[in-house]
Chains A and B, each alone.
Chain A
Amino acid sequence: MAEDPYKILGVAKDASADDIRKAYRKLAKKHHPDLNPGNKAAEEQFKAVSAANELLSDGEKRARYDRGEIDESGAEKPPPRSYRHYAEGAPGQRYSYSAGGAGSGASGPDGFGADENFEDIFSTIFQNRGNGGTQPGRGRDAHYVLAAEFLDAINGGAKRLTLPDGQVLDVKIPAGTEDGDILRLRGRGSPGRNNGPAGDALIEIKVMPHKFYRRDGQDIRFELPVSVQEAVLGGKVTVPTPAGAVAMTIKPHSDSGVELRLRGRGVPAHGKLPAGDLYVKLRVVIGPVDAKLEDFLRDWKPETAFDPRREMEGDSK
């Protein structure tokens, strides 16, 4: 590698162009081959002085050299590799935080880093995974999803769950179970490590929808079809509730959409929750029509005119 051209010419880094020219002339005269016949060292020296002068006498080249863009011979220099290039590889060990220095000190002010190794950092990730170690460890929890009938979830029931390994779990579904509730069966998960306790089986209950009941918190709602006569004249009807059929009285002149409440006939009390109510919404069904009904309606003149669509007026074009 060629030497620093400033040194060769014996000038300072901030030497003026004039200084450089003077220095060059002085050295060129001294080492000129014609003045030093047969002197190999002088010849080499002269070449070096000429090269240095060529670089430094050209303002643009000199500036590029000063910025480190070209080397002493004027050749382009590749940009130096970044610190990151080394630090991320094996050489980076040299400046490892735990190796001390850089303000951390071999024993850092908070002691952090000095003893930390890879396993410490990742130990939490691998906890309860049943790999390695001699410490007793609790087995992993097993997660299952169990589909339950709507009425089983309301009234409580039992359901058999066959696990992937052939094991059979009889799951008791408590009354009032809601969709997404998780039942925990202690000790029915994965076995523990090194005599540690087994994990739990966590069973998420998926409540299937019912043909006509709909759950609303502790209450249950559904629509009850009634005949024209029942709606107009009133009467006793049998209502299916989740806990069995009950008799309900419909008042005369009950229209479609009227909602009746059966207190305490919703979701049974469970935990700290009191029993909910059952809301029955009437839906008038005309059913099969015969000639008598047609004749009656054709002759029927209501005492008060009624337009069932009055509410809609002005809302459509």
Chain B
Amino acid sequence: MMFTVETLFVEIRGLQRQDLDRWITNAWVRPDGEPGRYLFREIDVARIRLIMELREHLEIEEPALPTVLSLLDQLYDMRRRLHGLNAALAETVPPEIREKLFEKLGNGLV
């Protein structure tokens, strides 16, 4: 499901236009398309909500946001890779070796 800027403001109540524009400029939010004709994917919508929650609920000021977002992006990169590794292990490694591996890792991957 894709959102235009108009539907985005319906979907996310309380979102301010100038905030959104600034976040896009900073590349904190990266929609498809170009200025005036942006298209937002579901992950973009979820990310905008995340930024709003970080600001409003956790009271993280904008100057600190790049650090927080960068750490989150790195964390999710790593978790995606771990999921990928886990999936690759499930497909390629014989069950008895997988079991030994997980035992050794203390189930850190499952």
Residues of A within 8 A of B (CB): 1, 3-4, 66, 68, 80-98, 100-104, 113, 118, 121-122
Contacts and interface: CB of A to CB of B under 8 A. Distances in A.
A102 B41 contact: no
Contact of A91 (B13, B43, B70): B43
Q: Interface centre among A1, A4, A83, by most B CB within 10 Å?
A: A83
Q: Is the interface of B mostly helix, strand, loop or mixed?
A: helix
Given A83-B43, A104-B73, 12 more contacts: A4-B10, A82-B46, A86-B43, A86-B46, A87-B72, A88-B79, A92-B76, A102-B69, A102-B73, A103-B67, A118-B84, A121-B81
B61 interface: no
Given A97-B73, A103-B66, A122 B46 contact: no
Contact of A102 (B28, B49, B85): B28
A66 B14 CA distance: 9
Contacts of A87: 43, 46-47, 72, 76, 80
Contacts of A102: 26-28, 66, 69-70, 73
A114 to B, nearest CB: 12
Contact of A113 (B13, B47, B74, B81): B74
23 contacts: A4-B10, A68-B13, A82-B50, A83-B47, A83-B50, A86-B43, A87-B72, A88-B76, A89-B80, A92-B80, A93-B80, A94-B44, A95-B47, A97-B70, A97-B74, A101-B27, A102-B27, A102-B69, A102-B73, A103-B69, A113-B74, A118-B84, A121-B81
Nearest to B65: A103
Given A80-B46, A83-B49, A121-B81, A94 B70 contact: no
Contacts of B10: 1, 3-4
A14 to B, nearest CB: 12
Contacts of A101: 26-28, 30
B42 interface: yes
B43 A95 contact: yes
Contacts of A95: 30, 43, 47, 73, 76
Contacts of A113: 74
Given A66-B13, A81-B46, A103-B67, A94 B74 contact: no
B83 interface: yes
A4 B85 CA distance: 45
A1 B77 CA distance: 35
A94 B27 contact: no
B25 to A, nearest CB: 11
Contacts of A121: 81
Contacts of B80: 87-90, 92-93
A94 B85 contact: no
Contacts of B13: 66, 68
A122 to B, nearest CB: 7
